[in-house]
Amino acid sequence: MCFAMITIQDVEDVQEKWGQGIVEISSAYDDGGDFVKRAELHIDSLYDYKDGSVLFKPTFASEVQFRSTFESALSYFVGENGVCSEDSGFAIKGWAKVRFQNENVIIRDSTALAMGNYFFTTAEGDEVKVEYSFGYTKDSEGNLRICLHHSSVPSS
């Protein structure tokens, strides 16, 4: 199969969807909704766990640093499935907004890499800055998927 080359707009669109997904998971949790189902949809629709492998190093993971399975990613986002006892649910912390600030995006054929900062805004309006590197690939249907997700808190 031959798919169109990835564009910077494609990367920015997936980043927007990722941020909106985090906000929607938080909102579902706050509203007493099915936040776990929303997180499952988030992972299913954006990460490449089904078609390939994912390198995922979450910001606040230290005991189980790397999340190579869907279940361990879900644990990080919602802290509900008991896979990783250190997880308290990053995506259910009351995030009201997420914005990406790309330092650079490199596109090579059917892959793209982006690095920069993303900012998580609390319900009170405080912003938390996190550094990230994301890798993207096209899945078997031509959809852009996350295959690398590494994030960390900036060094003080």
DSSP SS3 for 130: strand
* DSSP category for residue 93: S
Q: Residue 145 corresponds to which amino acid?
A: R
DSSP per-residue codes, 31-76? TTS-HHHHHHHHHHHHB-TTTS--EEE-TT-SSS----SHHHHHHH
Residue 78, CA atoms < 13 Å, CB-side half-sphere: 26
Q: What is the pLDDT along the chain (156 residues), one digit of tens a residue?
A: 556 789 999 999 999 999 999 999 999 999 999 999 999 999 999 999 998 889 999 887 777 778 889 999 999 999 966 678 888 889 999 999 999 999 999 999 889 999 999 999 999 999 999 999 999 999 888 999 999 999 988 777
- Give the architecture-level CATH label for domain 8-152: Roll (3.10)
Residue 47, CA atoms < 13 Å, CB-side half-sphere: 25
Q: Where are the domains of the chain?
A: 8-152
CA distance 95 to 92: 7
Model confidence pTM above 0.95: no
